Amino acid sequence: MDSHSRYDILFEPVKIGPVTAPNRFYQVPHASGMTEANPRVRAAFRGIKAEGGWGVVSTGAVSTHPSSDDSPLPYARLWDDNDTRAHAMSCDAIHEHGALAAVELWHGGAAVMNRTSRIAPYSPSGIPWAATHVGFMGQLRPRIMDRQDIRDVIDWQVAAAKRAQQAGFDIVYIYAGMGYLGYEFLLDEYNHRNDEYGGSVTNRVRFVRELIEATKDAVGEHCGVALRISLEELRAKPSDNHASEAHEVVSLLSDLPDLWDVKMDSSPTDCGASRFRPEGAHEPIIDFVKQVTDKPVVGVGRFTSPDTMVSQIKRGVLDLIGAARPSIADPFLPKKIREGRESEIRECIGCNICISSWHDGVPVRCTQNATVGEEWRKDWHPEKFSPADSNDRILIVGGGPAGLEAGLIAARRGYSVTIAEKNTALGGRLLFETQLPGLSTWGRVHDYRLHALQQMANVDLYLESELGVDDILALDHQRIAVATGARWTKALYSSLEIPLGELNQPGVYTPDDLAAGKVPEGPVLVYDFDNYYMGGAIAESLARQGLSVSYATPAGHASAWTIMTNEQPFVHQALDKYKVDIHTQMLLGNFNGTRATLNNIFTQQAKELAVKSIVIAGLRLPNDTLYQNLLSRSEEFESAGIKSVQRIGDALAAGALVHAVYSGHAFARQLDRPDSELYLRDIPVAEHAPGAVI
């Protein structure tokens, strides 16, 4: 099947300086957590996207010199010949499928701590980035760059650009965004200089101009030269002769780069979670750029709808449809549109687990796409599956995220699959969670899988089918997956920072109680030591229903772990909007039905809140009773033809959706392959002896 003609515009080539992108699908630079320590993992990850139809596939940030050292966060480098060879692997994998390879050369300036190199960070005026995220904090303040420092940084950019061309890259970036060095020169908050690089916008743009010019002189005959720039803060600044400083900066540089890659200034706004940011949220900031320059423009907006993509182009907002997260969730998104298979797109849910992976310092993960990062390590392809190795019939007990993923992948391998769900609908925990504020997009997890399963002749789906041990033993299935989920408990939290005891008394609820339709009586306290979205979302939901709500946590922020997913600032804004009182660093102690006692986790100072109900979002434990009962009768397995019984998803270990989906996927990939849980270990390229960075 071919694409609808209205999408033909998406497949038009776009000239970028001396090179031409084969279509308008552009995987913009994004972190992958795959450094030179994992060159084969990285090459396979990027190559899959080219195979899936992305016309341009980019690296994440690639350091030009040890003075741009982001450790312990994973970052890539182009410092020497070994780095060049490592990146060549990615270029080869990208070129194999006809796409262009782009490299985002990067100097972090004052936003990096140089923990490994121990070089004082570079900055225009010695102004540090005072991060509130512990992972970004450091105590080495930046140096004020002199003219030789400026010359050095430009020379390092040129040297890295030449290595990039040698590696095979087709597009070379200058990075002037997200708080990094080029950006610091552009903004007067960072740039207090009184020489030709400071003061007026014309002066402040000089450093970026010189980076572009030097890069074009070095590689511009063969490589497109792109400028990636953040415009959010600049657009908010007035200009004497332009609509804003953003307009002025773009006007001053309009014809220099071969491509404009436009974005926001901070990760929470640039990569906004779907809970707080809709598709296309960047447009009000970047919509003017094409009016100021004749060069092609690429931007992002978590685009998953081909109609939205076409609209961006036809309305003159963008020339190329940029994507980071959607290209992770479905590397084959362009190919599916081209082949008229839009209904098969595995749409990004905007949960930002991918971003949390980078903060964790590990290769990128994705809730929707369990194969991410495993393309080389486990030979998992997102669209190709090894055929079934037996005629075994697969029974999956539970139709939540893990069960649906396990069933879908097993069926795609050719196994006969039965999914039995005790409730009236498939989806498990998502049936409740997608009703919470901002989380409806997460319904794509079950919508995608259920739609695919319903098309398959080798799948049987049964609702309102609660199976017991006798039922399973009589059903003639050889492989059993128990995907019965997990339950929230009423456990409290101790000063040792572990769950301890339970508050089992009237007026105390868990998220499971709310999912079952119970409504707490107000005023209500939400006590949260799960630290992810659940506690904050429930507090917001109850407040929206008109209840008086307080929120307490032993952590220092509401929904503390959401700093990893870019949501934390917006969680606090939402709770403030609905007048939820926040109490941090608190242990929940007594509750007598009308008053709850909180004690500061550090000082033990007590505080009392007048509440009639408490909702505890804390410890989750597996619902594994069925599994344990099955094992107690394992002597009957052989006569029933059962070869294996396994727990998957939350029934094995309670976790985020990404863990449940991965667990279900791994179960199905490993059927009849007992050794496939292991993975290949990548190693760095070390063809050249260690030496000084040139």
For residues 219 and 165, the answer to whether their CB atoms sit within 8 Å is yes
Residue 221 parent element (H or E): none
For residues 549 and 523, the answer to whether their CB atoms sit within 8 Å is yes
Catalytic residue among 75, 175, 180, 197: 180
For residues 216 and 259, the answer to whether their CB atoms sit within 8 Å is no
Q: Which residues contact 132 (CB under 8 A, 6 or more apart)?
A: none
DSSP 476: -
Q: Which residues contact 486 (CB under 8 A, 6 or more apart)?
A: 620, 621, 622, 623, 650, 651, 654
Question: Distance between CA 342 and CA 335 in Å, rounded?
Answer: 9
Other Cβ atoms within 10 Å of 402 Cβ, number: 34
Question: Distance between CA 456 and CA 344 in Å, rounded?
Answer: 13
Q: Which residues contact 65 (CB under 8 A, 6 or more apart)?
A: 79, 107, 152, 153, 156, 160, 693
Q: Is there a catalytic annotation at residue 180?
A: yes
Question: Distance between CA 667 and CA 634 in Å, rounded?
Answer: 20
Task: Give the three-state DSSP class for 597.
Answer: strand
Question: Distance between CA 70 and CA 115 in Å, rounded?
Answer: 7
Question: Distance between CA 297 and CA 524 in Å, rounded?
Answer: 50
DSSP 236: T
Question: Distance between CA 120 and CA 115 in Å, rounded?
Answer: 9
Relative to beta strand 416-420, strand 549-552 is unpaired
* In 434-510, alpha helices (H): 444-454, 469-473
Which amino acid makes up residue 662?
Y
For residues 215 and 193, the answer to whether their CB atoms sit within 8 Å is no
Active-site positions read 180
